[in-house]
Structure 1
Amino acid sequence: MRFPAYLLLILFWCQSLATAQSAIQKESIIILYNSDDAQSKELAEYYANKREIPLTQLVGLPLPKKRHITRDEYNTLIKEPLVKLFDQKSWWQTGKTKDGLTIAVRNKIRLIVSVRGVPFGVKQNSVPLEGDNQAKLKISNRASVDSELAALGIIDAPINGPLVNKYYKSTERFANTRLPFTMLTGRIDGPTFEIAKQLIDDAIDTEKTGLWGMCYLDFAHKGASYKVGDDWIENIEKENWKHGIPTTVDHNKQTYLTNYPMRDVALYYGWYISSVNGTFLDPNFRLKKGSIAIHIHSYSASDIHNAGHHWVGPLLKKGAAATVGNVYEPYLSLTHNLDILHDRLLKGFTLVEAAAAAMPALSWQGLVVGDPLYRPYLHLDGSGEVRDEDKVYRAINLAWSKWANDPDKLITKLRSAAAKTKDARLYEVCGLWYIYMDNMQAAAAFFNSAEKSYLSPRDEIRITLHLADMYRKIGKKADALKLLRETLESNKDEPAAESLRSLITILDPPPPPPAEPRKK
């Protein structure tokens, strides 16, 4: 059926209008920087120019060059000056609630972007944290600066305990909600000024093509109290395969092994260990440009300027364009729900909207680092600029969009493409799909085909780890050890061989040292 040209024009205009109406308007954004830090101002201006935000929307405050500040410092140096500025510029109108709280009832500002130089933590004030977790929750007033700013419109809110985030779990774009007392908050920051600046460039560049590549997930499997986090990881896995995002999963209690040879990493969601480990210890490893990388742990963002400790700083150093974390202990139920965050990103939300929809609480511990306006999945429909390094993942996505309801045809098409192009990644993806479908025999066949086609030792080692993990699941530990040792023998000098040694030690631990004779 052919449509008249004027109908197509109207349809295009309506789609453009809908997109514009749901976008965060540039005039509704302010960029907060430290006026006593020249690089902070430079970064704020750079971001404003890159995103075409009026320079009149920059707000400089004289702030200490500290990462964590006291509650009094937050109030006098950040909160009170901003409240005064919002009043002076008529950015908001305030009113009283039935409970007597002063809140914003109209608000022109929808997003506050803090840049490197603005402190990110507010320390506990006076009341000592004592008692069980529930008791501590009620009296805790330490928080991230960003989360406090999100609640700036609740002007005289109590400081102890978290506030409810009314945007939590929302499926609406933030511009379409009626939440004048809540603002989105994001942060452009990192271990160095250069890394922080790169977050902007990588986000804007990736939006031209879309984010394509592998997803790596890491379950905790540490007991009932951790189940909710593992449920988030499981939901992400299910959602990925619906969209043809190939996914490798670590189901073991250990995190990914030291120097595990990940490849083409666009997404990483994992937990649960206090400081960076596994693949991220490999000095030669880099995440893909535009990647989203998140590891759940208390204090993961307690020092985002440290590139070697906790998680947020190290992930940014490895090339992540976006991550989230906690400046203090948030408790699992009050941290970012990763499955919601991931779902909103896939739906085309901005990073800051996705993070806000995933966060149950305000005036609490969480923050999001990266270009807040970044939309990594603008082109999940296959549109956008096509780059050579993305072609295989675009093809996988296209195959899923066409034949997801006919798995046999889907796999036949991918197998044919692998044979034609000699791209071993297609064999590997088929193997990962069959693991997800719990067909270990078919998975092993595809992994063996991948191993024969790959030329890099890193890839051979990864396939061995896939197969060894399968053997572990079906109780064939001896077969797993035999394969691991054979691969190690031919790849001893490879950095990724450390992952083979680690797994061998886990499966066949050395005997304990002999006990020393008791002294008489």
Structure 2
Amino acid sequence: MDAFRRLRGLGSTALLGILVACGGGSGSTGNDQQEHEGASALSRAALVAAAGTEIPPGRYLIANASSKLCVDAVPAAADGGVLRQAACATSTNQAVDITQPSAGVYKLVVVGTGRVIDLSGSSGADGATFWQWTDNGTNAQRFKLQRTQGNRYALVNAGSGKCVAIDGGSLAEGAGLRQAGCDANQAAQQFLFYPVTAAGSRAAIAVGQYNLQSVSSTLCVEIAGGSLADGGKTQQTACADSPQQRFEVKPAADDSYSFINVNSGKGLDVSGISIANGALIQQWTYGGAANQRFSATLDGAGLHLQPKHDGKCLDVKDFSTVAGGQVQQWDCGGNDNQRWLLQASTAQPPAHGSVTPDQVLLVINANSATSAAIGADYQQRRGVNNVVQVRTVDSALGSGSETLSGSDYKSQIEQPIRNFLAQHPQVNFIVLTKGVPIRVNGAATGDTFNAGGAQASVDGQLAALDYDKLPGAKLVSFNAPSGFASGSAWLNRYWNADEPFSHAKFGGYIVTRLDAFTQAQALGLTAKALQAEAGLGQGAILLDIQPDFGINDPATQPAPITDPLITRESDYGTWNGDLQHAGQDLAARGIPVLLDARNTFVGNQTSLLGYYSWGSNDSHYNATAYHSLRFLPGAIGDTAVSTSAESMLPPGSGGQSAIGDLLAQGITGVKGYVNEPLLQAISSPYITFNRYTRGYTLGESFAAGSHFVGWTDLVIGDPLAHPYPSR
């Protein structure tokens, strides 16, 4: 009996009331449950994430994009010290240490005073002051950093959902920091983050996305042909705000920078780690090596960019001033062909949910009439033309056909898909259909506990294709001393990402399936996704905490997995903390949420737009209550139940609550598990709902919220579903 199964219990109580989740409190009040009336949703116009928008933890000066002045802390002997803007200087009162205590949430500590930036009174009102306060971990002292364009970021308070702004949009020194409803068109709300060097001074380049322009030719560097491959060459061409010309510039070791191409996700690199003059600059999978890191120093009208391994300069070969000229390294001199301008991108980050049908591969089992019918419907509704027909057992006919041997999986499913993908590198999403088996015995990775070899989902194996060939990919081993799980899986490289997914950048694939207890229910998934995209109904997201397990600090959840050996299941209070974090985030952004933390299993709820609970592992679980839940089109969910997708045929999961029942009750997308996942593998409610309600696709949202690939996960639903606007 696995860890989750041990928690099963019976019992029911009447629903007495549902608590609405609210934002956190301020250091000045200590009240971390104060409700923020009228908390603003982020402006749809531009507060959306782009490729690599995360600010790496480190020490920064924060400058307003309009005034060019830096955030400055007035030293004070007590909490409540003033924050203002002042001329940028080498000062510890302007240096800010930025850390990330939980996924997507930042803490900003003024180095000179040791206090954090705090929203006074945990206020939800426009005009409220930001000041310095002793760190107490509340949401009034935590921020989301969201790019508006290029190298400009908004600081969004995690408690109020509103933005930091320079008071009155002033350009003068001494103006304070006030709260305002987020508007990405307001320069007073846009800030630049300059790394602080080891000497304490402001670095030359603010974190962000740039075009790299030669001073001598006025042309811009691009990856030739938009190549996605290691070894893709650089050349200069007429400047345009295209992905193959844009580079994500972030601080790296030793006061250097990495330059990651937005189109390919690969870094600028001196070919062959050469120290010779004339060595060409290429792109390569970024690993932080010295030949991939560059110092940036001002030199007259531009910057010298010097690889850290040899100190030479990036140089336009042969002083070329025409398109096609190559970029190399050469001994540094005083010529303009070694001087570079970094032009901040003016393109607004791409809206989420912009996945096109050519990025999707549809997989149909030619031996299954059910699979063929569902596949034909999906092709027609979504306009997908990339189709692979496999021939394997029809899992729609009986539970005995839901599992394949490792060899049959390889030959009947994986190899035909690999053959197609080799000719179609644009594919990022794989959609399976009911009739394609759900489980592999004898898989490359998976759960080996009582499985007769590694057991994984078919979907998980496809999601991890070629992870073993990815530089830096991390294989995690499970050796739970209580014996509930053993085996291996890959750490998901897309976990907690806040940018659109691409195979080229992250490796692997996002895999979902159109499946349910019946063919009719599976056919309905795409129809419901499209209905929701046409307009969401009025409803709320239900998050059902089980307080008997404890509730860890929501500000620390979800936490990353850093140890490659997992020897115990996560404390159950961590997932409760994650649920609470999700509720606080949704409420702060004005999204209706029902957060219940009482000793009852919630039922009799209709018009739901989302659902996370402990399912049958809740010690107060009530099957009648579970089956009474009803969902609106667009709703997604997950349950912390070990075999919630043990079978996609009724009754489902051999005594545990099944996701098949939620599908029958109208949910549009749901995650489940074909074998013991451990709690670590259950999707994060905070990350999943944060991404989904900000306009990411269903597939991206579940993928970002899941720690592993190559494991036992199964995501049901149309991966392209995106009913929420980009925010």
TM (norm. structure 1) is 0.59
The 3-state SS of whatever aligns with 1:329 is: coil
Please give the alpha-carbon distance, in whole angstroms, between the structure 1 residues aligned to 2:521 and 2:346: 36
Tell me, yes or no, if the aligned pair for 2:447 and 2:712 is still in contact at 8 Å: no
- CA gap 1:172/1:117 in 2 versus in 1, 3 angstroms: same
- Measure how far apart 1:295 and its partner are: 1.7
Q: Which has the higher strand share?
A: 2
- Measure how far apart 1:71 and its partner are: 1.7
Query: Deviations 1:83-131 (Å, cap 9, x if unpaired)?
Result: 23334xx23xxxxxxxxxxxxxxx321111101111111135699978x
Give the structure 2 partner of residue 329 of structure 1. 676
Please give the alpha-carbon distance, in whole angstroms, between the structure 2 residues aligned to 1:246 and 1:144: 34
Return the match for 1:219 from 534, 545, 560: 545
Give the structure 2 partner of residue 354 of structure 1. 701
- CA gap 1:201/1:17 in 2 versus in 1, 3 angstroms: farther
Tell me, yes or no, if the aligned pair for 2:353 and 2:721 is still in contact at 8 Å: no
Please give the alpha-carbon distance, in whole angstroms, between the structure 1 residues aligned to 2:443 and 2:456: 10
Please give the alpha-carbon distance, in whole angstroms, between the structure 2 residues aligned to 1:17 and 1:74: 43
- Measure how far apart 1:49 and its partner are: 1.3
Matches within 5 A, 1:387-426: none
Matches within 5 A, 1:58-207: 58-65=387-394, 66-87=401-422, 90-91=423-424, 107-123=425-441, 141-154=454-467, 161-175=488-502, 178-179=505-506, 181-207=507-533
Please give the alpha-carbon distance, in whole angstroms, between the structure 2 residues aligned to 1:288 and 1:127: 36
- Measure how far apart 1:177 and its partner are: 6.4
Please give the alpha-carbon distance, in whole angstroms, between the structure 2 residues aligned to 1:288 and 1:25: 25
1:233 and 2:576 correspond: no
> What is the one-letter code of the residue matched to 1:28?
Q
Give the structure 1 partner of residue 354 of structure 2. 23
Return the match for 1:291 from 614, 635, 645: 635
> What is the one-letter code of the residue matched to 2:387?
L
- Measure how far apart 1:18 and its partner are: 5.4
Tell me, yes or no, if the aligned pair for 1:120 and 1:145 is still in contact at 8 Å: yes
Give the structure 2 partner of residue 32 of structure 1. 363
- CA gap 1:63/1:360 in 2 versus in 1, 3 angstroms: same
> What is the one-letter code of the residue matched to 1:297?
V
Tell me, yes or no, if the aligned pair for 2:447 and 2:711 is still in contact at 8 Å: no
Give the structure 2 partner of residue 388 of structure 1. none
Which structure has the bigger radius of gyration? Answer: 2
In structure 2, the gaps of 5 or more residues are: 1-184, 186-344, 395-400, 478-486, 551-570
The 3-state SS of whatever aligns with 1:118 is: coil
Please give the alpha-carbon distance, in whole angstroms, between the structure 1 residues aligned to 2:443 and 2:510: 25
Tell me, yes or no, if the aligned pair for 2:353 and 2:697 is still in contact at 8 Å: no
Amino-acid identity (%)? 23
Give the structure 2 partner of residue 48 of structure 1. 379
Tell me, yes or no, if the aligned pair for 2:461 and 2:711 is still in contact at 8 Å: yes
- CA gap 1:175/1:152 in 2 versus in 1, 3 angstroms: closer
Aligned residues: 338
Q: Which moved more, 1:215-224 or 1:342-351?
A: 215-224
Give the structure 1 partner of residue 593 of structure 2. 247
Return the match for 1:264 from 607, 610, 627: 607
- Measure how far apart 1:338 and its partner are: 1.8
- CA gap 1:293/1:125 in 2 versus in 1, 3 angstroms: closer
> What is the one-letter code of the residue matched to 1:188?
L
Give the structure 2 partner of residue 306 of structure 1. 650
Give the structure 1 partner of residue 72 of structure 2. none
Tell me, yes or no, if the aligned pair for 1:220 and 1:272 is still in contact at 8 Å: no
The 3-state SS of whatever aligns with 1:356 is: helix
Please give the alpha-carbon distance, in whole angstroms, between the structure 2 residues aligned to 1:168 and 1:336: 10
- CA gap 1:250/1:69 in 2 versus in 1, 3 angstroms: same
Please give the alpha-carbon distance, in whole angstroms, between the structure 2 residues aligned to 1:129 and 1:116: 23
- CA gap 1:22/1:318 in 2 versus in 1, 3 angstroms: closer
The 3-state SS of whatever aligns with 1:336 is: coil
- Measure how far apart 1:368 and its partner are: 1.0
- Measure how far apart 1:249 and its partner are: 2.9
The 3-state SS of whatever aligns with 1:64 is: coil
- CA gap 1:302/1:138 in 2 versus in 1, 3 angstroms: closer
Please give the alpha-carbon distance, in whole angstroms, between the structure 2 residues aligned to 1:232 and 1:68: 33
Please give the alpha-carbon distance, in whole angstroms, between the structure 1 residues aligned to 2:489 and 2:710: 5
- Measure how far apart 1:340 and its partner are: 0.7
4+ runs deviating over 6 angstroms: 14-17, 125-130, 137-140, 155-159
Query: Deviations 1:162-190 (Å, cap 9, x if unpaired)?
Result: 012111110111149612x3111111110
The 3-state SS of whatever aligns with 2:543 is: strand
Please give the alpha-carbon distance, in whole angstroms, between the structure 2 residues aligned to 1:127 and 1:175: 23
Tell me, yes or no, if the aligned pair for 2:698 and 2:718 is still in contact at 8 Å: yes
- CA gap 1:153/1:26 in 2 versus in 1, 3 angstroms: farther
> What is the one-letter code of the residue matched to 2:516?
G
- CA gap 1:269/1:278 in 2 versus in 1, 3 angstroms: farther
- Measure how far apart 1:15 and its partner are: 11
Tell me, yes or no, if the aligned pair for 2:446 and 2:489 is still in contact at 8 Å: no
Query: Deviations 1:375-420 (Å, cap 9, x if unpaired)?
Result: 12228x8xxxxxxxxxxxxxxxxxxxxxxxxxxxxxxxxxxxxxxx
Please give the alpha-carbon distance, in whole angstroms, between the structure 2 residues aligned to 1:166 and 1:127: 16
CA RMSD after TM alignment = 3.3
TM (norm. structure 2) is 0.43
Query: Deviations 1:197-249 (Å, cap 9, x if unpaired)?
Result: 10110110110113531222211234362011101110111012112233333
The 3-state SS of whatever aligns with 1:31 is: strand
Tell me, yes or no, if the aligned pair for 1:139 and 1:161 is still in contact at 8 Å: no
- CA gap 1:126/1:175 in 2 versus in 1, 3 angstroms: closer
- Measure how far apart 1:32 and its partner are: 0.5
- CA gap 1:378/1:125 in 2 versus in 1, 3 angstroms: closer
